[in-house]
Amino acid sequence: MSSPFAARACLAGAMCIVGSSVAVGKTVALSMPLHLALGLRFLVACALALPLLRLLEGGLPRLRARDWGLLFLQTFCGVFLFNVLLLLGLLRTDAASAGVLTGTTPAWIALLALLFLKERPGPRGALGILLALAGTMSIAALNAGSGGESSLAGDLLVLGAVIGEAVFLLLRKALPASLSALAASTAVSCIGLAQFLGPAAWQAAHFDFAALGPGQWLLLLYYGGAVSVLAYVLWFYGVARVPAATAGVYSGLMPVSALFFSWAFLDEPLGWGHVLGCICVLGGIALLSAPARRRSATGGLRAEC
């Protein structure tokens, strides 16, 4: 499993799983209260990740209080806010649009890095940002033109989730490089469970679990196990074995995967606006992930999603 082909296969698999989470998340959000769904998701993730981390690495590493504080802030932005805003958005817009909008994460990372870290993207990077934002606007125009006021509100919620994820990815630069992917994923899952525990417990007390069928329980297991654990491990296996710029290109599979699963499993219509938005986002990601030293750091950040 150490060949370049295996590494690229892991990267592709990870992004296909992440893309499928948009359709799965919408299905789960329609079947149970939002905080309960997310609490159960991270309960499943912790139940799988903690024993795996114990077996492979001996448990969670010792970190400074500052590092735990950064992990808590990261989790709040990239787990709590991201998932709450994303699922609220999915209740108001179609999963295909949400999938394309989440593909603009590299552009938001570049913009935030420019504003707060003074990292200039250069001409190629600036064009990539403009293309990704053009994809965002095409989706917003599509929904606004259809008279879907709630769809436009849903798009804004999804964009808020994407910005939260971008902050999460930028904050990761402040954590120790020695923190492994599995350890970081496990810590984030545990902190995420703690953040959702209160509202999830309250909603669980008023929820009829007998109303859930076997298919919905399987989706929850997939949501917690595959999306929260497997995709993360696959991605970090691959990203450690290929150049960051190469890994960044594979993140472009995420919006494509989201569009496919929304069309195939939610039977949502796929319009030319979605296709145009996806092409713009893919073009932007390709430019942002181009093999250049100045852009490789941003590509690596997106790869950690």
Residue pLDDT, tens place only, 127-136: 877 777 777 6
The model's pTM: 0.73
- Residue 242, SS3 per DSSP: coil
pLDDT digits (tens, 9 = 90+) for 25-83: 878 878 889 899 989 999 999 999 999 999 989 988 888 999 999 999 988 998 899 88
107: pLDDT strictly greater than 50: yes
pLDDT digits (tens, 9 = 90+) for 136-193: 667 656 655 555 545 788 888 988 988 887 787 677 667 787 788 788 889 989 999 9
223: pLDDT strictly greater than 70: yes
Helix H or strand E encompassing 234 = helix 231-239
**Which residues does 90 contact at the CB level (< 8 Å), separation at least 6?**
22, 25, 26, 29, 98, 154, 158
Q: DSSP secondary structure string, 30-85?
A: HHS-HHHHHHHHHHHHHHHHHHHHHHHHSSPPP--HHHHHHHHHHHIIIIIIHHHH
Residue 273's nearest CA partner among 93, 23, 128, 8 is: 93
User: First and final CA of the chain: distance in angstroms?
Assistant: 22
The DSSP letter of residue 227 is I
Question: Rounded to an integer, what distance in angstroms lies between the CA atom of residue 196 and that of residue 36?
Answer: 8
Residue written as token pair 């295996």: 6
Residue 10's nearest CA partner among 234, 287, 241 is: 234
Residue 192's nearest CA partner among 76, 30, 63 is: 76
